[in-house]
Amino acid sequence: MGLRLRPVNAEFYDLFTEAAAHLVGGVALVAEMLSESADKEDVAQRMRAAEHAADETTHAIIRKVNGTFVTPFDREDIYALASGLDDVMDEMEEVVDMILLYHVKSMPAEVLGQVEVLQQCADLTATSMPRLRSMQSLEDYWIEINRLENAGDKNHRRIMARLFSGEYKALEVLKLKDIVETLESAIDAFETVANTVEQIAVKEG
């Protein structure tokens, strides 16, 4: 039998898994918001509720860190991971809110590609969080997230080129650019989470 230097504190892993599950739900709402037939007010309201639920999970993690003497990995890494996951949700909530507030009618089709990248990031993050417990099989996760972020970055530049092509009026470009950049920030935020997991795994591994 191996030696355990860190206690088994299963609740931390459950809470990180819960945080990632909120992100899977959040991406679904972003996708719904982009469909032409969406009731935008209703989707935005459900997004606010989802973002609130994610906040609750973040606070539960932070309360748990503050009330636990020996944590499964470094306190500052738990904070970084919890707030990293929370940041993804904040970006996605902002995307949905902007689509509502700016009265956006239609978006270039390439935007759907970014939502697909987000969906893959969320699914991958959700299946990887429970593996923090064993610290096994995590490398594929952060490599794949980095690959997805690269793909998202390339797609983002193509979307920007399309927005600047002359097809859209300047004011419409301004609105769409804001939304498209926030989508990219959400993808970047998934990469930050993966980088945090990599650092934890290197330290603890």
Sites of contact with a second copy (CB under 8 A): 66, 97-98, 101-103, 157-158, 160-161, 164, 166, 169-171, 173-175, 177-178, 202
Give 127's Cβ-side CA count (13 Å radius).
12
| Residue from 110, 124, 106, 105 nearest 27 by CA | 124
Place of tokens 């690269």: 150
Give the nearest distance from C-beta 126 to a second copy in angstroms: 27
What's the DSSP call for residue 138?
Answer: -
Give the nearest distance from C-beta 171 to a second copy in angstroms: 5
Cα separation, 122 vs 116, whole angstroms: 10
Q: In terms of CB distance, is 97 or 116 closer to a second copy?
A: 97
Q: In terms of CB distance, is 10 or 161 closer to a second copy?
A: 161
Task: Name the amino acid, one letter, at 159.
Answer: I
- Helices of type H across the chain: 10-34, 40-66, 75-101, 111-128, 139-163, 170-204
Q: In terms of CB distance, is 49 or 161 closer to a second copy?
A: 161
Are the CB atoms for 200 and 142 separated by under 8 Å?
no
Give the nearest distance from C-beta 12 to a second copy in angstroms: 18
Cα separation, 182 vs 201, whole angstroms: 29
| Residue from 131, 112, 59 nearest 89 by CA | 59
Give the nearest distance from C-beta 67 to a second copy in angstroms: 12
Q: In terms of CB distance, is 49 or 164 closer to a second copy?
A: 164
Q: In terms of CB distance, is 140 or 167 closer to a second copy?
A: 167
Give the nearest distance from C-beta 123 to a second copy in angstroms: 27
Cα separation, 166 vs 173, whole angstroms: 9
- How many C-beta neighbours within 10 Å does residue 9 have? 15
Give the nearest distance from C-beta 69 to a second copy in angstroms: 15
Q: In terms of CB distance, is 80 or 122 closer to a second copy?
A: 80
